[in-house]
Amino acid sequence: MANLSKILLRAVSSAEPTEVRERPERRAPGRLPLGHPIAVIDIGSNSVRLVVYEGVSRSPTPIFNEKVLCGLGREVTSKGKLNAEAVTSAIGALKRFRALCDVLEVGEIYVVATAAVREAKDGAAFIREAEKACRSSIEVLPGKREARLAALGVIASIYQPDGVVGDLGGGSLELVEVRGNDIGIGVTLPFGGLSLADSASNSLKKAGKLVEAVFEKEPILRSLNGRTFYAIGGTWRALARLHMRQTGYPLHVMHGYSIPAKEALEFADLVQRVDPETLDHIESVAKPRRALLPYGALVLAQILRFGKPKRIVLSALGVREGLLYDRLDEPARLEDPLLAAANDLNVLRSRSPLHGHELVAWTDQFMDSTGIEETPEERRLRHAACLLADIGWRAHPEYRGEQSLNIIAHAAFVGIDHPGRAFLALSVFYRHAGLGDDEPSPHLRELASTRILDRARILGAVLRVAYLVSASMPGVLPRAPMKVEKGRLVLRLEGELAALDGERLFSRVRQLGKLIGRDPVIRTK
């Protein structure tokens, strides 16, 4: 280590003066060129959170995330004021968060406050002190704007949502209908965990009567029948995490986690009946949040009873991401979030990003010729898989399939459900590991239907042909089409590409032919 230090000192001392003064590049090559990071600080009724994103894009990636469970709203209903101890904690968190933003060289900071600050008599005084601490202006969100931003967070992260968004915070519950990109009129109800416990004098029975009296007259819930309820908020995520652990669910990714309504109702009723500390895997929930679990379960159960949705789907994105989505121009909003995220990884990790896009067109031509039925959803998933097909090339050859599978299955993707993740991960696994004895994670296979497994194997076999033809380089696949012609699987290698023909390539074409029931042939001229 001492010798290395001497070498570095000699290198600096021998450099030209301009080189010594030059500031070293701080941004890693693995970062997208989106300019300075952007930060959102969310002052909620229960927690204060900082999330710093790489930049503004259709699929923003957090580079830093921290929260402090302050409990600002724990006495607002009964006393009308913010809890004094919580205020001290929140101000300290805001000072730290601002310092972190300075360290991260954040370009823009958005600070928002929600129900507790909105409702408290001393909310304005707190905002003045908080603005000094974070050296930024703070927007106190009206209830309807908070509901709209939560809906935008779901629209930004769920592909073609259809149902009702529910954002449960410590102080309030926002409900708003979404259908595609359309947002209904939202409502704010005082049923956040802290405010509900406070107004009900910590009585679950009394809290249940308060919620029932409002929900039986709430028209938004009547629009939920047979559709999807999109759940946002830390307490509901904690409940879902417990459900995930207790059922042995194979993928610990919260966004897109889906629970049938009947099963969710049974679990919510269980959480209300027992002491939270006796629940299996309760250690996965932060201690300050455990006392709120029964109240969150109560509100969820009543939504399920009055609304009668088909299922609930967890959204890890909400108001903060809704703020960023709201800043995008119209063309950017209309981008597919999954394909945007897949293309980002393609740019950052593939040998040739252009080759990934050529794969999309090449496999389009192949699939259109086969007569194999493909839904619009399956088509977009195939496109994403093509963009992700080469992200594991730097790994050891024996582990490229496994590493790609892990990266894709656990990536911070949005716009995709869990079976879709399984399809992407398995397709790229088969592309590297082949279709033989090496089997992917049995846990991930649990998420895949027979159809998903079959399509993943076919696409994996197609990609195995493509990479032997192109060697991952652009400009080759457009001149080497592979299609079903007159009942046969035909790969055309013409002109100078004819020299690419060989036994190994034909073996892969033959393997694909077996999967789709077509005799293979490579045509050269």
Of 104, 120, 140, which closes a domain?
A: 140
371 shares its domain with 344: yes
CA dihedral 510, 516, 520, 525 (to 10 degrees): -110
What gap in Å lies between CA 163 and CA 8, rounded to an integer? 60
Same domain, 197 and 119: no
Q: Looking at the structure, do residues 428 and 514 belong to the same domain, yes or no?
A: yes
pLDDT of residue 525: 78
What is the Cβ-side half-sphere exposure of residue 480, based on CA atoms within 13 angstroms? 27
Return the pLDDT at 2: 42
DSSP assignment of 125-171 equals: HHHHHHHHHHTS-EEE--HHHHHHHHHHHHHHHSSS-EEEEEEE-SS
Domain for residue 330, yes or no?
no
Whether residue 154 sits in one domain with residue 203:
yes
In terms of DSSP H, where are the helices of 376-434? 376-388, 400-410, 418-433
CA-derived radius of gyration, the chain = 27
One domain, residues 245 and 170: yes
Among residues 270, 301, 323, which one ends one of the domains? 323
Amino acid making up residue 326: D
Assess whether 175 and 307 both reside in one domain.
Answer: yes
Tell which residue, 69, 74, 51, has the closest CA to residue 61: 51
Residue 396 identity: H
pLDDT of residue 276: 87
Spell out the per-residue pLDDT of the chain, length 525, in tens: 444 333 333 333 333 333 333 344 555 677 888 889 999 999 999 999 999 999 989 998 999 999 999 999 988 988 999 999 999 999 999 999 999 999 999 999 999 999 999 999 999 999 999 999 999 999 999 999 999 999 999 999 999 999 999 999 999 999 999 999 999 989 999 999 999 999 999 999 999 999 999 999 999 999 999 999 999 999 999 999 999 999 999 999 999 999 999 999 999 999 999 998 888 889 888 888 899 999 999 999 999 999 999 999 999 999 999 999 999 999 999 999 999 999 999 999 999 999 999 999 999 999 999 999 999 999 999 999 999 999 999 999 999 999 999 999 999 999 999 999 999 999 999 999 998 766 777 778 889 999 999 999 999 999 999 999 999 999 999 999 999 999 999 999 999 999 999 999 999 999 999 999 999 999 987
The reply to whether 401 and 435 lie within a common domain is: yes
| Burial class of residue 406 in the structure, from the number of CB atoms within 10 Å of its CB (0-12 exposed, 13-18 middle, 19+ buried) | middle
Of 122, 140, 158, the residue at which a domain comes to its end is 140
Phi/psi at 487 (nearest 5 deg)? 85, 0
Is residue 8 domain-resident?
Answer: no
CA distance 232 to 176: 12
| CATH number of the domain within which 255 lies | 3.30.420.150
173-to-177, 231, 286, 438 alpha-carbon distances in Å? 13, 11, 21, 48
User: Which tokens in the block code for residue 15?
Assistant: 């450099």
pLDDT score for 223: 94
Same domain, 257 and 126: no
Number of structural domains (the chain) is 3
Domain of residue 314: give its range. 143-323
* 124 and 148 part of one domain: no
For 6, which DSSP code? H
- Does 285 share its domain with 367? no
